[in-house]
Structures are given as C-alpha cells and as structure tokens.
Structure 1
Amino acid sequence: MNEDLKDLQSQAAKGLAAVRELQAQYDVVGWQIKNPEYAKIRHVLLHLMKITADVAAIVEHVEHCVQNEVDPEEISRDFAVTIKDRGDIAGDLLFHAAQFANLGDYDLADQLIQVYARNSKRFAPDSPFADLGPLH
C-alpha cells in the first residue's frame, strides 16, 4: 500500500474517532430524541431528508439554468458560490454519520475506507485506493 495513503488513513482514523466521541458527548446533552435507539435513527432520517431536499434545491437550480441555456461558465461560477455558502450540508452529514457510527458501534474510518476501496475497485482499479483495507 502507498505509504502516503497509509499515513492519511491513520490520521483519518484518529480524527474520525474524535468526531465520534465528540458526537457522543453532544448527544448526551443536545439530542432530545434518543430512546429507544430506533426513535433516534428515525429522527436522524428526518434530518437527512431535509439535507437531501437542500441538495435537490441546488441541483434543481442548475437543471433549470441548463434547460434555459444559461452560459455554462456562469452556471459553474454560481454553483461554486452556492456550494461554498452551503458548508452546513457537509457538517450535517458528518454529524449524522457519527450518530450512525455510535449507534452501530463501528469504526467510522474503517467504514469510509471500505467505501474508497469498493468504489476504486470499480472506477480506479489500478489506483492505490483499490488496495486499502481497515487499520484494525
């Protein structure tokens, strides 16, 4: 395995373990719907649907611009501004990913590495990502 990727994988594992712990501590004081656990995941689903709707609104705007033959460079500029302004979407997704990991008691970094490995086997089979495996 590529040493740079191995080092990044190790750093990600440390960072994502900290994210999981931070989320667990937050959920004790800041997450109201938690019992039973399936009620928590059901409520997380509602939040994920809201996030999906936000992404859909961004995409819908782009689709209308394409349909109305707006200059592609203008579409790209506007899209870049919108994505930059909506960093909250990525934060919300990580927030809820950490909740899933805590509920299922699994290593978030290992799950992410599995996604990289699975996708690279299909889309970049000759890349070093295809050889990634869990650290633990």
Structure 2
Amino acid sequence: MTALQELQHLYDAEMWGIESPSHAKIRHIHLHLSKTLGKLAAFIEPADHQEYENQEVDYLSKADDLSPVVADLLMHCAQIANLVHGSMGEFLKTRYTQNAKRFAPDSAFSNFTEPLSFYLRAEQKSVKIVDDATDPIG
C-alpha cells in the first residue's frame, strides 16, 4: 500500500491540477468519489432488480466493467491518505481492528499488533506470516 501511495503522489504531481489549498483538493477528491460511487450504483442497481425477480446475478462476468471503479476508489483513498500524511495500511489495520472488536472480538483481526504487511489471510481464516520482499500488500 505504501507503493500505491507513492505512485499516487507521482501521478498527482503530473496530472492532478487542484493541489492548494488542501481543502480544495479534498473537496475535489470528494466530487470524484461521488461520481465513482454513482458508477458503482449504476452497475449494481440492475442486479438488484434481477435478484428481486429471482434471476441469477453474475458479477464475475462483469469484472472488466468494475475495474475502473475499483481503481478510482483506490486512487482516491491514496490521495486522501497522502493529503493527511497517513498510511493506508495503518488506516486499514485500525479499521479492521475496530470492526473486529465490534463484530468478531475473538478473531485475529481484533488484536493486530504488527504492521499490516506482517499478516496474510489464508483460505481457512487463519493468519500466517509473509515475507515482506514478496508481499503484494506492501
């Protein structure tokens, strides 16, 4: 995630025009997030009708349609984290812990003590150590 934030910083330096004051930047990011969430809603809304009518809903076949939405969400998260000089990984770890304490206090997520890159969720819901050099989460 650190790499994503660094890449976003470079992208913003070349292609994001609204930098100052910081309130103007976050306001503009909010506008882009609102547009992105609207795209997500436009994608999901017809599926909601399909499900209501007992028709199968197939999201896997729509991955290409969702790809730009997911990318935009990540970009704007990185922008906000950079704006406040924060770490997306630490923000996410904190949120996992907060949610786990509320909804699953016995889970491994309720007591994160290491950096996020230290953990990798395995298929059987266990937590295992990963090598930082090969860690895609970063």
The TM-score range, normalised by the shorter chain, is 0.7 to 0.9
Structure with the higher helix share, 1 or 2? 1
Given that 1:110 and 1:134 are in contact with CA atoms closer than 8 Å, whether structure 2 keeps it comes out as no
8 Å contact from structure 1 (residues 17, 107) kept in 2: yes
| 1:118 is the counterpart of 2:98 | yes
1:119-134 alignment, distance < 5 Å: 119-133=99-113
Distance 1:133 1:90, change over 3 A: farther
TM-score (norm 2): 0.75
For the residues of structure 2 that align with 1:111 and 1:99, how far apart are their CA atoms? 13
**Alignment root-mean-square deviation, CA:** 1.8
Q: Cα distance, 1:120 vs. partner?
A: 1.2
Per-residue deviation, 1:124: 1.8
Number of residue pairs the alignment of both structures matches: 116
Structure 2 segments unaligned to the other structure (5+ residues): 116-138
> Which residue pairs with 1:108 in the alignment?
88
> Does 1 or 2 have the higher relative contact order (CA < 8 Å, sep 6+)?
1
Instruction: Name the SS of the counterpart of 1:126 in structure 2.
Output: coil
Which residue of structure 1 aligns with residue 71 of structure 2? 91
**Contiguous gaps of at least 5 residues in structure 1:** 1-15
Secondary structure of the 1:86 match is helix
Instruction: Say yes or no: does 1:28 pair with 2:13.
Output: yes
- 1:45-101 per-residue CA deviation (whole Å, 9 max, x = no partner) reads 11101111011112211222133x242xx22x2x33224531111111111111111
Matched, 1:60 2:45: yes
- Which of 34, 42, 47 in structure 2 is aligned with 1:49? 34
Give TM-score, length-normalised by structure 1: 0.76
8 A Cα contact 1:37 1:103, kept in partner: yes
Distance 1:52 1:133 in 2: 32
Distance 2:106 2:93 in 1: 16
- The residue type paired with residue 88 of structure 2 is L
The 3 A distance-change label for structure 1 pair 134 and 107 is: farther
